[in-house]
Chain A
Amino acid sequence: MKSKQLELMVGLFVVLGFAALAYLAIQVSGLSGASSKDVYQIQARFDDIGGLTQRAKVSIAGVTVGEVDSIVLDKELYMALVTFNIYADVQNIPIDSSLAILTNGLLGEKYVGVSIGAEEEYLIQGGELYDTQSALVLENLISQFLFESTQGD
């Protein structure tokens, strides 16, 4: 009887450990949260992605509709080729929509905002958006500002 109780407690301990591991995997690192959703992939090329990272959000009107899957350099055009995973239930993004890399707050994370176009035709798996707006790089902005202010003199 004593030994059975002991085994029960040890079993509970191990189960608790596995439950905590599952919690860390699913809730904290979001392992299955993203992959379980059906997605389709689209692409876009940017002149400058600034600090955009993998798994950054893609949002329409502030609502998350997907995330950045991969970022590679397009060696022919010297542009950043970004692949997005868009949730499958958002199927009606017009093909002339434009993408912009935005920042959440002054110091916040980078995300990609989608401005909806006017076409009747919608993006499908493997589609590409051509109208892209680069990330605002603060240094460029400042140097532009200084250049313009010295030109005025």
Chain B
Amino acid sequence: MKSIQSTGLSAINSIAAFGRAGLFLIQVVLHRPKSFSGAMSLLIKQIYSVGVLSLVIIIVSGLFIGMVLGLQGYTILAKFGSEQAVGQLLALTLLRELGPVVTALLFAGRACSALTAEIGLMKATEQLSSLEMMGVDPYRRIIAPRFIAGLICLPILCIIFSAVGILGGEFVAVSWLQIHGGSFWSLMQQSVYFSTDVVNGVIKAFCFAIATTWIAVFQGYECEPTSEGIGKATTRTVVLGSLSILALDFILTAAMIGDF
């Protein structure tokens, strides 16, 4: 009896959390900035901490993932005598799947966890409520700039990741393993379509950005105002963010590739 009751309680709680998260998102979107230049300066500060500071991890991991893909693709394709196709493999894997997904996972770990911790600490030290006391809207001042900065940064980071990965793969395949550069690029260009592959990757990254940043700011705003609560909220951000990225990736891929 008790276990059924606790199941019911947790079900009600999680549905209520979904509802609160939805209301929270509407609040964030509806609170328009009072002045454009003030909002821009807040936004630029957040883009710097969310995007520019994530650049190093994105570039380094993109480079190594591209190089590993080039190496693995070469050893397998060389068995079939079609090692020129490594360019095609590299570009399609990076643009369609690995670029958006790995970037979003790294972003959830690197930037979103920091967002949650920051907002959670503001709540724990009662900065949010004192802002409200001063008549400053915390949604407009704190939450919205961080949310929008995430939406802007993740697609850009994803594009940079894919480009760097392809450069890294080219370095391994063409400069090191001596695949003919012309057929490497021409096979790649023949199989990659800008309007589907590149644009779909960016759309994917944008959807992941909405999901992870929303989770991050909501968890920060909702967290228990204790040091333990902040830790739990940060963990939840990374776990829920990563899971939602992978689940969304399946849905988006099915919608983009499948015509069924």
Contacts and interface: CB of A to CB of B under 8 A. Distances in A.
B159 A30 contact: no
Given A13-B156, A23-B163, A28 B95 contact: yes
B189 A33 contact: yes
Interface string B17-54: 00000000000000000000000010011011001100
A7 interface: yes
Q: Main SS of the interface on chain A?
A: helix
Given A16-B160, A24-B163, A10 B52 contact: yes
A9 B153 CA distance: 13
B81 A105 contact: yes
A9 B159 CA distance: 18
B185 A27 contact: yes
B122 interface: no
Nearest to B197: A29
B82 interface: yes
B36 to A, nearest CB: 15
A29 B51 contact: no
Interface stretch (A87-95, A106-114, A118-126, A145-153): A106-114
Size bracket, chain A contacts = 20 to 34
B260 interface: no
Among A6, A24, A31, A109, which residue has the most Cβ atoms of chain B within 10 A?
Answer: A24
A31 B194 contact: yes
B76 to A, nearest CB: 13
A64 B183 CA distance: 11
A64 B187 CA distance: 13
B223 interface: no
Given A24-B95, A28-B95, A6 B189 contact: no
Contacts of B41: 3
Contacts of A27: 185, 189
Contacts of A23: 163
Contacts of B193: 29
20 contacts: A6-B45, A10-B48, A13-B48, A13-B55, A16-B55, A17-B160, A20-B163, A24-B198, A28-B166, A28-B189, A29-B189, A29-B193, A30-B185, A30-B186, A30-B192, A64-B186, A105-B81, A105-B82, A106-B81, A108-B84
Interface of A: 3, 6-7, 9-10, 12-14, 16-17, 20-21, 23-25, 27-31, 33-34, 55-57, 64, 105-109
Q: What are the 8 A-B residue pairs with the smallest beta carbon separation, nearest first? A: A30-B189, A17-B156, A20-B163, A29-B194, A29-B192, A20-B159, A20-B160, A13-B52
Interface of B: 41, 44-45, 47-48, 51-52, 55, 80-82, 84, 91, 95, 153, 155-157, 159-160, 162-164, 166, 185-190, 192-194, 197-198
